[in-house]
Amino acid sequence: MDIIYLNDLEIETIIGIFDWERKVKQKVRVSLEMAADIRKAARSDNIEDTLNYKSVAKRLIDFVGNSEFQLVETLAERIADIIINEFHIPWVRVRLNKPGAVRYAGDVGVIIERGSK
């Protein structure tokens, strides 16, 4: 399988378990690796024959920006579900970072893989 990736998509959302986190939007970063066979698109040079990463980004900006999860684990799982089910991708690796969540750390987050290659 080939990999189509999207790195460091920054989205503001309600995320966290503390009272103050439920009141202000915080920045999260989403990075994706998505399995796809790009040979048809390479031959045709047509966007219709591949995964349109701009469409993926727009969908996630809308979904994540309007979500209000407590855990990054839950948000990562929902993102994986969207990629697999709405974009018909057989496998995805989701990296979800929450910058500033831990003092003195650049960021923290989760990496999950769902589906099969």
Residue-wise pLDDT tens digits, 55-109:
999 999 999 999 999 999 999 999 999 999 999 999 999 999 999 888 888 889 9
| 109 DSSP β-pair partners | 97
Which spans in 45-94 are helix H? 53-65, 72-86
- Domains of the chain plus CATH, in order, are 2-115 (3.30.1130.10)
pTM of the model: 0.95
3-state secondary structure of 90: coil
pLDDT digits (tens, 9 = 90+) for 3-58: 999 999 999 999 999 999 999 999 999 999 999 999 999 999 999 999 999 999 99
pLDDT of residue 83: 98
Give the residue numbers marked as catalytic: 98
What pLDDT shows up at residue 117?
76
Q: Map tokens 């974009």 to a residue.
A: 87
Residue type, 110: V
pLDDT for residue 78: 98
Q: What's residue 100's pLDDT?
A: 83
